Structure 1
Amino acid sequence: MHDTGTGSTAPPSRRTVLTATAGLAAALALAPDPARAAGPDDRRLRALISRMTLEEKVGQLFVMRVYGHSATAPDQADIDANLAEIGVRTAAELIARYRVGGIIYFTWAHNTRTPHQIADLSNGIQRASLAQPRGLPVLIATDQEHGTVTRVGRPATLFPGAMAVGAGGSRADARTLGRISGAELRALGIRQAYAPDADVNVNPANPVIGVRSFGADPGAVAGLVAAEVRGCQESGVAATAKHFPGHGDTAVDSHYGFPVITHSRELWEKLDAVPFRAAVRAGIDAIMTAHIMVPALDASGDPATLSHPILTGILRGELGYDGVVVTDSLGMAGVRQKYGDARVPVLALKAGADQLLNPPSLDLAWNAVRAAVHTGELTEARLDESLLRILRLKAKLGLLDRPFVTGAEVDRTVGTPGHLRTADRIADRTTTLLANRAGLLPLSRRTHRRLLVVGADPASPSGTDGPPTTVLAAALSALGFTATALPTGTAPAPAVIDRAVAAAGDADAVVVGTYNVDAGSPQRTLVTRLAATGTPVVALALRNPYDVAHLPEATACLASYSWTDVELHAAARVLAGRVRPHGKLPVPVNQPDNPTQVLYPLGYGLSY
């Protein structure tokens, strides 16, 4: 069977499956039994490790990106990208050359076009790996946090993001989200979710976490993290809590800089550590490291990803965690600034990491680890420790027995009507009403029939129906209003603001989608000018709820915490009075001119 990427997702033939798994089963001294849920015991896994070459062991430690929708026949542009960045043409060549133990899917790498294509790609990757001498199944992962970080889009089920779930406050909802999302990922051949985010977001200026966090209260975050972990892993997919030891109080994005966390050890214990301890108690399969410096935990100045005191001393020793530790992407600036790319993977392993995620140059990183063993800086026994953890996880997930997926699994699991209804019900409990002057909301179809929807149109997360203004206007029109979309962008020019103000004259109310408003934002000018027309203005914060502090002229303010379709449709139902707002702020909103004064406290939220 050839991996054509046509979306057929035909199940592998019996001969294909037996040929691919026979060597593995023989090595493990097991009969291939797809029904077996438990993996082989450590004795058998250690026997398998003992047969591996050093090169095979090194490869198993890496989780790598690869371009293309197919494992063997990607588009020419993806072949060119693979050659330029990795030195191979396809995923199959990547596996044959480096024997990587994991692959990470990205939307921008064209891995996640349609459900059947994703399943075909996963099967092609597994066939390529199992065809190698002593071949092992690949652990395929992706960042499926939902909300602003979503790699597998529609028609898969998309849920509200973490801060929205935090606004809903329901651990049952978090567990349901994890269970359904995990089941759909598993049907696509993706066995590891790089989620949930366990950071406690206490810095409104955090440029990289923000709404990816469940909120600012460590106890509430811990409960939701543990619930999502349990739900995801009940579906047979490994959850991954990130970013240890806690990325919630940074003003620097570790993709582009090197953040420093100034928390004392006591504060870290009370704040950042709480959700990770809860994740460990919940049986978390994997924990992802952060490229941040925490002097109170390690005074060396090293990023946590490369810190033996943090990964081995605290995470392994004090928290008692013995699962897989995966680094955040090794291509990020936060881990590359102090040491060169050849040192980073070696130092990460010495610190206590098991999986090395997405190095900028796989060839350089792979050879650096192998060379470190030859020179004695790393021992083969140290590699074996990580290999055992990785193989335990693959066994637990059933990969050693049943690495393939089928089209039937995709059709009966991904984006089912029941799953979509559940996502809508969860979203309905997250929209947060923060201001409602003169009882403007809910909007009345008698007095507010003509609606103008303006505002920011940030790049849409995967699988949405289009820009937020378009999606929101369509949703309101479907609820009986006559809604017109007029995108104005995140930095509207004066002429654009003038057009919106002119159009407001023909509307009964204006809905403005805002995105990361600050004191000098043209979006603030837009809202002020619209309010001056006398037409009621509703501000909907599409990302950070902190926007509301800068929009006192708005008649009503809501927060949706993201601009995916599921959250925008829920916001439309709240605006129209079809659903009452239930969300409560999971973070405090402070006064912009006096950050020590709270404008809207944690837990605040109106209803009607």
Structure 2
Amino acid sequence: MSRPTRRTVLGLAAAAVAGAAGLRPGVAAASNPGRAHGWATATLARMTLEEKVGQLFVTYAYGATAQTADRRNVTAYGVATPAEVVAKYKLGGVIYFAWTDSVANPPQIAALSNGLQQASLAVGDKVSVPLLISTDQEHGVVFRVGPPATQFPGAMALGAGRSTADAREAAAIAGAELRAVGVNQAYAPVADVNVNALNPVIGVRSFSSDPTLVADLTAAQVTGLEGGGGIASCAKHFPGHGDTVDDSHTSLPTINHTREQWNTIDAPPFEAAIEAGIDSIMTAHIVVPSLDPSGEPATLSKPILTGILREQLGYDGVVITDSLAMAGVRQKYGDAEVAVRALEAGCDQLLMSPAMDVAYNAVLAAVRSGRITEKRLDQSVYRVLRLKHLNGVVADPMVDVAAVPSVVGTPEHYAAAQRIADRTTTVVKNEAGLLPLSAGPRKVLVTGYGVSTTQTLANRLTARGATTTVRQTGATPSDTAIAGAVAAARANDLTVVLTMKAWDTAVTDKQGKQQKLVKDLLATGKPVIVVAVRDPYDIAYFTAAPTYLATYSYADVSMESLAKVLYGELKPAGKLPVDVPVAGSPATKLYPFGHGLTW
């Protein structure tokens, strides 16, 4: 008997995952590798040069339907509708965002997806190739398809829960719901190991600061998305974006890990993803001198993408760039040269080039001049085509719009999300013994970050007998808002204050206003519960707080879990998935990985 392929293993795992998640049987319509190879090879042989180059590009288009005319498309692409954008560039993929009007509600998304697929299938004279339709659906703090789609608490919350089964089930449900609306690729999971508490761009998007835990949960989510969910997954951001204080959206970070550190910290999650059969990997716009001393960002580095990812790690799936509109990849070269150099480095797809005409024509010219050989071009196009066939996109590119409500946001999926969230809330401090709260009426102020988050929590507390007042103060509360919250705290029996990245005064809170809010509330002498609804690192700035919890997420399910823990309905089970350092002393641990109280 021949050894089963990774794709077969994923398919076998899918049945168990789908059963646990309550998914429809056969939700993963994956093909076998032999058929995928045959179709991709035959299709490639009939494609024109322009069609091949189009497969290398993934971009966005403005409009809620494929036929919606939008001036922004004319400005960016010279054509009016999303369907015309697909046709003009013979695109390999489209990415959805809220700001492109792509994700208003599930039926709208499904209809848009069908319209774009129809446009793509009509492009070629001799071939018919469907689109990869993708989005950043990490859950937690990064998601594009919102409610009524099921919302999970995100990667670091899953890290706090420590359960590979939960990670796999969350991914399977997320994948099935995306597939139901025609999205066949999720740019998830995040495989970065967040070892830097001051990381402004990754943080809770990472599972943990522990490479083994990140590797285990990354592999679990790959299996969930590709097997149970039936869509392509994409591990990001290679070779690892977890140890930086710079944001590659606005600058070019340098990661100063030695090669040995990279091998032990950054590489394991990507190795695990590859072993799990990952369909695609996204690059990072970061410089890693120990891997490539040239100073080139990894996206443009042949030693990193070809030498390490392809040759050392043995990866032969699709490599896609992070957005080419980000500053981290545009510092040294123009948009034409970036596109060509990314392909030369080993990328297969170019995401969101800010100048599509320039980039598309630059790649065409590079192939015609021989700078990029047709053999090299065909390698990338073949990988893209093979991915589409392996994930069932070729066999079944369209979705049933009428069936969307039976898959997206079902009661069973919501219940699963709540069960998972209930295992993630972490009690870090309970020095005054305030928790769990006793039964009985009390007046509670809910203040701090998030209009919907504070109100959602207040509603949960009201349902448990509290009389609640809400004073949302945001990420940068004004002095007036702080004074109002303090006055309200004095008039209530208890205050629950929610913080969101309060440590990051350089980015979200320039004057330390969230820190001032919490300290002024503590100074009232009234009982105060401080809850980090994003990064758990905030506690380093609130060491005087006797009661502190971390939810890692401001999703509704996380607020329900928080309420259950506060009232003793749940024994807190979450453990810190990262070390929390002392403020200003990153090498000194305030609370170690694995810390978490219960009762």
Q: Which residue of 2 aligns with 1:228?
A: 221
Conserved 8 A contact 1:199-1:243: yes
How far apart are residue 260 of structure 1 and its match? 0.3
Partner of 1:533: 524
What per-residue deviation string (whole Å, max 9, x for no partner) do you get for residues 412-438 of structure 1? 211110000000010011111101122
Residue 548 of structure 2 is aligned to residue 557 of structure 1: yes
| CA displacement at 1:257 relative to structure 2 | 0.3
Aligned residue for 1:196?
Answer: 189
Distance 1:308 1:607, change over 3 A: same
Q: Quote the offset at 1:107 in angstroms.
A: 1.4
Contact 2:29-2:230 within 8 A present in 1 as well = no
- Please report how far the alpha carbon of residue 593 of structure 1 lies from its aligned counterpart in structure 2 after TM superposition: 4.2
3-state SS in 2 of match to 1:528: helix
- Larger deviation, residues 403-412 vs 340-349: 403-412
In the superposition, relative to structure 1, how do residues 388 and 148 fare at CA in structure 2: closer, same or farther (>3 Å)?
same
Q: Does 1:494 align with 2:494?
A: no
Query: Which of these residues, 554, 557, 563, is aligned with residue 566 of structure 1?
Result: 557
User: Aligned equivalents of 1:357 and 1:596: distance in 2?
Assistant: 37
226-235 or 554-563, larger mean C-alpha shift: 554-563
CA apart distance, 1:226: 0.3
The answer to whether 1:143 aligns with 2:129 is no
Which residues of structure 2 form unaligned runs of 5+?
1-27, 506-510
Q: Does 1:514 align with 2:499?
A: yes
What's the CA shift string for 1:427-483, capped at 9, x where partnerless?
01111110112210122242x6210001122xxxxxxxx522112111211222111
Counterpart secondary structure, 2:325? coil
Residue in 1 that maps onto 2:463: 478
1:302 matched residue in structure 2: 296
Which amino acid is 2:361 matched to?
N
Displacement of 1:375: 1.2
Specify the alignment match of 1:58 in structure 2.
Answer: 53
Q: Does the 8 Å CA contact 2:445/2:469 hold for their aligned counterparts?
A: yes
Query: What is the SS of the residue equivalent to 2:446?
Result: strand
Instruction: Choose from 433, 439, 451 the match for 2:444.
Output: 451
The separation in 2 between residues aligned to 1:551 and 1:364, in whole angstroms, is 50
Counterpart of 1:503 (choices 488, 502, 506) is 488
Q: Tell me what 1:428 maps to.
A: 422
Query: Which deviations, in whole Å up to 9, do the C-alpha atoms of 1:142-197 show, x marking residues without a partner?
Result: 10000010000110111011001100110000010111111111111111010000
Structure 1 residue 86, shift from structure 2 partner: 2.2
Please tell me whether residue 380 in structure 1 is matched to residue 365 in structure 2.
Answer: no
State the 1:36 CA deviation: 7.9
Alignment partner of 2:371: what SS? coil
Q: Distance in 2 between matches of 1:506 and 1:35?
A: 58
Q: Secondary structure at the match of 2:44?
A: helix
Q: Does 1:345 align with 2:339?
A: yes
Matched, 1:544 2:535: yes
Over the residues paired in the alignment, what is the CA RMSD in angstroms?
A: 1.5
> Aligned equivalents of 2:544 and 2:463: distance in 1?
28
Q: Per-residue deviation at 1:569?
A: 2.0
**Runs of at least 5 residues in structure 1 that lack an aligned partner in the other structure:** 1-33, 458-465
Q: Is the 8 A contact 1:38 1:398 kept in 2?
A: no
Offset at residue 42 of structure 1 (A): 2.4
The aligned residue for residue 359 of structure 1 is 353
Question: What SS does structure 2 have at the residue aligned with 1:63?
Answer: strand
Paired residues of 2:580 and 2:591 also in contact (CA < 8 A): yes
2: CA distance, partners of 1:377 / 1:90: 33
Correspondences of 1:56-455 after superposition (within 5 Å):
56-73=51-68, 79-132=70-123, 133=125, 134-234=127-227, 235-446=229-440, 449-455=442-448
Would you say the 8 A contact 1:254–1:334 is kept in 2? Answer: yes
- Aligned AA (2:516): T
- Contact 2:494/2:528, CA 8 A, preserved across alignment: yes
Distance in 2, matches of 1:517 and 1:404, equals: 44
Provide, for residues 254-302 of structure 1, a one-character-per-residue CA deviation record: whole Å limited to 9, x for no partner: 0000000000000000000010000001110100000000010011111
Within 2, Cα distance between the matches of 1:162 and 1:199? 11
Q: Secondary structure at the match of 1:272?
A: helix
Pairs aligned (count): 562
2:222 & 2:431 partners in 1: Cα distance? 40
Which of 37, 45, 51 is matched with 1:42 structurally?
37
Change (3 A) 1:249 1:205: same
State the Cα deviation string for residues 522-567 of structure 1 (Å, max 9, x = none): 2222222222222100001111101111112323101111212221
Contact 2:449-2:498 at 8 Å conserved across structures: yes
- Return the letter of the residue paired with 2:272: A
CA–CA distance in 1 between the matches of 2:356 and 2:30?
A: 34
Please state how far the C-alpha of 1:35 moved relative to its aligned partner.
7.5
Matching residue's letter, 1:310 = I
In 2, Cα distance between equivalents of 1:103 and 1:528: 46
Tell me by how many angstroms 1:41 deviates: 4.3
Q: CA deviation at 1:374?
A: 1.3
Equivalent residue, structure 2, for 1:14 = none
Distance 1:156 1:41 in 2: 31
Most deviating of 576-585 and 331-340: 576-585
Q: Is the 8 A contact 2:68 2:82 kept in 1?
A: no
Write the deviation string for residues 571-594 of structure 1: whole angstroms up to 9, x where unpaired.
Answer: 122122222211100111111143
Normalised by the length of structure 2, the TM-score is: 0.92
TM-score between both structures, scaled by the size of structure 1? 0.90
| Per-residue CA distance 1:92-122 (angstroms, 9 max, x = gap) | 1011111001000111111011111110000
Output the CA distance in 2 between the equivalents of 1:469 and 1:156: 21
Q: C-alpha distance in 2, partners of 1:591/1:173? A: 31
> Which has the higher mean CA deviation after the structures are superposed, 436-445 or 62-71?
436-445
